[in-house]
Amino acid sequence: MSRIVHLNGAYLPEQDAKVSIFDRGYVFADGVYEVTAVIDGKLVDFEPHVQRLERSLRELAMAWPCSKDELREVHQELARRNNVTEGVVYMQVTRGVAERDFAFPKDVPSTLMAFTQHKSLLDSPHAANGVKVISVPDIRWKRRDIKSIALLPQCIGKQQAAEAGAFEGWMVEDGLVTEGTSSTAYIVRDGRVITRPLSQAILPGVTRKSLIRLATEERVVVEERPFTLEEAYAADEAFLTSASTFVMPIVAIDGRAIGSGKPGPVATSLRKIYLDAARS
């Protein structure tokens, strides 16, 4: 059975959802997106995803395709119609269909598209065993705070990681780790969690935001400062976060074991704290 997807207000079988070749998402990658996790059939952290979408749209002067309430309804309805109890909802807004011209078209409605993916997020062997990452150069544009659908540098980084047998690529700029190709990067030293502060150099992760709040409530110190790759190699622990991985322990970076070479106690406990909160 094919999926039911959403396109501009309609729920359609995936093979019937068609977008013009002149859509600016197709021609210019002129669009933004969000990925929201579904656990127990419920959306995780939906409100901060909408807030980040609002920010991405505002920064690019792109029109909302529908109301926020309608967007929530689309997410819930897609999860329901596709029987997704565990997985993700992907959604993107593009600047709509217009004659090819670099400048933004006037009075063109945005295109809204959304679909679901079934994924085993909770009982992931990656979470139990930890994952490997490699470092890759950060070759992205300078507005990484906008969740743009233009992801070619991240695709190249993820492909390099896959070819090296790694789960993720940690992007490095001026010797400092910015973030993963599709996740936020953290190290742990002496029980303190270290992650890069928000700026235009990284995406403001929704999972990052929740995790920092929850960690602080549990009296885990979170230091928001840049860190080098060398510091990461020597860290007690490392981990990453994203909507689709939650908190994922890292056991090796560039082939060097991190700490004991097993998932560390801080990452393991933060994963549990995050998931308990997400499911409560």
Binding site for ligand PDD (CB under 6 A): 35, 179, 182-184, 203, 205-208, 241-244
Q: How far is the CB of 280 from ligand PDD (least distance, A)?
A: 19
**Min. distance of Cβ 104 from ligand PDD in angstroms?**
24
Active-site choice (18, 106, 147, 272): 147
Measured between alpha carbons, how far is 36 from 72 in angstroms, rounded to an integer?
Answer: 11
**Residue (82 or 183) nearer to ligand PDD, CB:** 183
Least distance from C-beta 177 to ligand PDD, angstroms? Answer: 12
DSSP string, 77-91: HHHHHTT-SSEEEEE
d(Cα 188, Cα 16) in Å, to the nearest integer? 48
Residues facing 252 on adjacent strands: 132, 257
* 142 in active site: no
Nearer to ligand PDD, 97 or 193 (CB): 193
Nearer to ligand PDD, 96 or 205 (CB): 205
CA distance 169 to 173: 13
Nearer to ligand PDD, 97 or 157 (CB): 157
Write down the least CB distance from residue 93 to ligand PDD, Å.
15
Residue 44 or 266 having the CB closest to ligand PDD:
44
> Minimum Å distance from CB 240 to ligand PDD?
8
Instruction: Taking each helix axis as running N to C, give the angle between helix 206-217 and helix 265-279, from 0 to 180 degrees, rounded to the nearest 10.
Output: 100
Q: How big is the chain by its Cα radius of gyration, in Å? A: 19
Which of 87, 99, 71, 95 lies closest to 6 in space, CA to CA?
Answer: 71
Q: Is the Cβ–Cβ distance between 246 and 37 less than 8 Å? A: yes
Instruction: Work out how close the CB of 183 gets to ligand PDD at its nearest, in angstroms, rounded to a whole number.
Output: 5
Q: Name the residue among 30, 25, 33 with its Cα closest to residue 50.
A: 33
Cα separation, 224 vs 194, in Å, equals 6
**Residues 240 and 211 sit within 8 Å (Cβ to Cβ):** no
* Burial class of 93 by CB neighbour count within 10 A (0 to 12, 13 to 18, 19+): buried
**Whose CA is closest to 188, among 221, 142, 151, 147?**
221
**Beta strand 222-224 with 192-195: parallel, antiparallel or unpaired?**
parallel
Closest to ligand PDD by CB, 110 or 207: 207
Strand partners, 12: 5
**Positions marked active-site:** 147
